Structure 1
């Protein structure tokens, strides 16, 4: 073979030899070679003898039982000879098939990973031929074939909602992570209410209320699990809320409890059950006199709470409830009016399964007039509520449960802001230690950037002007307050926009006259209303439903539910764009109504439930609980 003096070939050969590159086996097919390919192969066969020797040296020895494999030069010579064969000498199809069936029918070659460019080109051509051959061996295979989607129903677990227990009066010092509580006042009544909706076929899911006492002690059964509900068909649809005969509900009103609890609902076949609950605490005497209420919460691994106070005479107790079967480890992030609050006792709080852990916030952030808490849990999900109470000297200043607010966002809405007359409010707040008895918006900026907010107030007749045009600057990492005392008496809803993510809630007060007991409530920011919301109505508390629409008109359909679970005729509440509407639930739906099913159509709408105690100062605001969604279908395309 003539010697090739090309320097590039020698360099590549030397590089391959010195690095000892690993050789691989590549199956080759034997297609007929045209004259041009033969000429190219013959030219390639003139490789430098040094390169051939280097390749033979680097090649791994074949197994003893197999014949020695040809070197590169021999392969190229063989390819050149094959190209000279006349077309008449091409093997027949039968000969090709017989040759392919023998072990020698598939030639292999050893090749270094790094070759001169001309050799790599020949290898690429061989691979291309192999790919085409594979396509002919497996007809009908498409690399982009899409399987036909078929419906699959995933199993649905039980639904849970944690319900707050009775109000608790601290005994002794408020310091420490494990507080002690005095017995409740004899004039305190704590009631749990619940409503569970059936499927369209009238099947009520198994549902009960259990105590969060570490044992999940049964407290009440709304409906026992039935064979019908357990084997509900996958095609079952969400109930049609029009009072049709098959759809019904199970209701529990005024169940007296002595501690926190959980509402558990079994699934209806492939659907999550729809239900909600609430806790109402009424106290006519004692240091905790007033009206407090909380919606039963679905557990979560992250909760935001806004509006607590730990000043003198103010007590804030955080209740962490774990209704799962796994321990929860909770960490707290605190923000005050002066900035973030660092506390060693805010990390690693363990909440055992089926229990509630109480944390006195004054032990973590003392003397804070505005406090927000970011609750995060690892392991079991938890619910979180702050019991806030005020005692001004010997005069009770009210009590409430601070419900979770919407997670930080640049657009928020708060419905159900009740404002007393400017003159009456001025008389109350003018008293000593009553400065926090006004109506105020509390905003938390958890990020590192200051926020500029625009707040708009909407009443029944449209937008109402706010002091300073509703523009508020809020510092990063702090809780800021905007007074709403200039609003005329009435019911309002707020629309808040900011240039960075914030959380918000409104503190409002209720009173009869100066010197008498005062109560307060917190209206939290909440997301827009969804498809179905369930509410309970207690007989001894006056209930108003407040709805707002900011961007366009919305229609709220309200279906009453009787004590026997019968769904009545629905009634519509029209909410014009840029207004807030309040309706008395009992007057609109009938005095026999004990629960309401609300659904929304039209523009985005927001709502809340405002409770007022007749003949007293008691007030509370409940966000509308989001009912569990039914079956959802998605298409999954599988490609290979």
Structure 2
């Protein structure tokens, strides 16, 4: 009797799951969908976290929230919400969105401004992007800091961090969930794993944040480090805030996952110094090839055609002013076609000279499958770099209005195979202030992109670069139909 009851209960539960799946995908309960058939649907909920901005008394931070219009995300009457909530205590949500296609902003000058947790649902969820931009106009941390708020995950790589004298790097960890998260932090230098005194089992409070000063974890003063963040339980968002007493400050974003080929799109034309940091994640050494994708194609940078990275160690290369006055992208491949070794990599880029220098970071960037958005852009200050691999690629670049209103402006460009195209988007018509830029791949090869925001101040070429990975606004959902025959099994 008990066996029959359990069997029937299990069958009913399975039937309920199948029926729910059919409802989610728009399937017809009366007819089972063909085996293996899937639908591509807009995501229904998105979560991001923004680290606490600069603690400087001279800092002004702007948060910009934006969701591009998505076909099939709603009928126009469907309710949705997208807002940012401080981790510390109860407060009014920041930059709430009311509709797709128009950005919302919020500004703070509070040096104690907390980290934020953002959620978007319904038609505002697919492709939701949040940008945090901070200007520090004086003091030791002066500079422009920009970061696209991060999707929580269980693992992050940061090639390009440092514990050297003159550098102060904080790893910011934010937990979006109610339960605490437990995190391990590993630091890899030129000789391998550094012995950390307190990098294991760090607890990040639920709905809270924890900044970790990297120099407090190890005694070594390492100029170049690769930081590996591994979450034991829960999930976090992570970003590194790097401050250099000579070169300024910026956020170091997470790098693309370890791979045997990587692209860092969008090295500025006027870069005075480009510093490459790479780490081999496998058990074997990595022999890499370095190529620069210029406006006319791939070239091998003289003196830096190859790079050897020992297993489990961080290697560096000073590429100097590699772009020579025109924008480019660094393409890393493997010289061993039979047993290529995965690596993570990133660039530290400097513009300016002498006491008028500023730095920014450009990690290896995931490709854009369909669409990518960066939320905060300024007239005459925004440059989008597009790099195509394999084939000529057709790309649509759209500027969408900010809070002041206006009309979106789009243009379609062709990026030649294995080259870099620099685009300065036209601001939306009838709009003033910040605006959002969306890049859509229409056809062609594999597309990579980044955005440089330049806000010069007092003779310092302040700038920041944000990678533009795919926004993952659409998801493949297997169709399922109810099958009453399951009750007979």
TM-score by length of 1: 0.63
Instruction: Give 1:538 deviation, angstroms.
Output: 3.6
Q: Is the 8 A contact 2:406 2:431 kept in 1?
A: no
In structure 2, the residue matched to 1:88 is none
Q: Map residues 79-158 of structure 1 onto 2, 5 A cutoff.
A: 148-149=32-33, 158=45
Q: Which residue of 1 aligns with 2:417?
A: 577
Match of 2:468 among 617, 624, 628: 624
* Aligned mate of 1:442, from 248, 263, 277: 277
Name the structure where strand makes up a greater proportion of residues.
2
Q: Which residue of 2 aligns with 1:211?
A: 86
Partner of residue 549, structure 1: 388
Relative distance call for 1:456 and 1:631 in structure 2 (3 A) is closer
CA positional deviation for 1:463: 2.1
The aligned counterpart of 1:402 is: 252
1:249 pairs with 2:101? yes
2:53 counterpart residue number: 166
Q: How many residues are paired up? A: 432
Paired position in structure 1 for 2:116? 261
Residue 18 (structure 2) aligns with: none
Larger radius of gyration: 1
1:324 to partner: Cα distance: 1.4
Q: Do the aligned residues in 2 keep the contact of 1:541 with 1:613 (CA within 8 Å)?
A: no
CA separation of 1:348 and 1:552: change in aligned 2, threshold 3 A: same
Structure in which a larger fraction of residues adopt helix: 1
**Partners of 2:235 and 2:361 in 1: how far apart?**
24
Distance 1:606 1:155 in 2: 22
Find out whether 1:491 has 2:327 as its counterpart: yes
SS of 1:556 mapped into structure 2: strand
Q: CA deviation at 1:301?
A: 0.8
Residue 467 of structure 1: how far off its partner (Å): 2.6
* Corresponding residue SS for 1:577: coil
Q: For structure 2, which runs of at least 5 residues remain unmatched after alignment?
A: 1-30, 335-339
The match for 1:502 among 343, 367, 380 is: 343
Q: What is aligned with 1:287?
A: 140
Contact 2:42 2:474 in 1 (8 A): no
Q: Normalized against structure 2, the TM-score is what?
A: 0.81
Change (3 A) 1:374 1:419: same
Distance 1:364 1:353, change over 3 A: same
- Secondary structure (helix, strand or coil) at the match of 2:303 reads helix
Q: Is the 8 A contact 2:379 2:427 kept in 1?
A: no
* Larger deviation, residues 559-568 vs 202-211: 559-568
Give CA-to-partner distance per residue, 1:295-330, whole Å, 9 cap, x none.
111100111111011111111111101111221000
More relative contact order in 1 or in 2 (CA 8 Å, sep 6+)? Answer: 2
Asked whether the 8 Å contact 1:319–1:356 carries over to 2, the reply is: yes
Question: Which string of whole-angstrom CA distances, capped at 9 and with x for unpartnered residues, describes residues 586-628 of structure 1?
Answer: 3698864711222102211100011112342212110115324
Shift in alpha-carbon separation, 1:623–1:363, aligned structure 2, 3 A: same
Query: 2:440 aligns to what?
Result: 599
Counterparts of 2:320 and 2:42, CA distance in 1: 51
Of 36, 48, 59, the match for 1:188: 59
Give per-residue Cα distances to partners, 1:63-88, cap 9 Å, x unaligned.
Answer: xxxxxxxxxxxxxxxxxxxxxxxxxx
For 1:540 and 1:557, the matched residues in 2 are separated by 19
* Pairing partner for 2:165 from 309, 312, 316: 312
Q: Distance in 2 between matches of 1:325 and 1:273?
A: 24
- SS of equivalent to 2:456: coil
Shift of 1:375: 0.7
Tell me if structure 1 keeps the 8 A contact 2:153–2:235. Answer: yes
CA distance in 1, matches of 2:202, 2:406: 44
- Cα offsets for 1:253-296 (capped at 9, x unmatched): 3532622212210234xx95331011111111001001111111
Q: 2:401 matched to 1:562?
A: yes
Q: What is residue 201 of structure 1 aligned with on the other side?
A: 75
SS of the equivalent of 2:163 reads: coil
Residue 453 (structure 2) aligned to one of 589, 593, 611:
611
CA contact (8 A) 2:66 2:100 kept: no
Asked whether the 8 Å contact 1:301–1:376 carries over to 2, the reply is: yes
Aligned counterpart in structure 2 of residue 466 of structure 1, from 292, 301, 308: 301
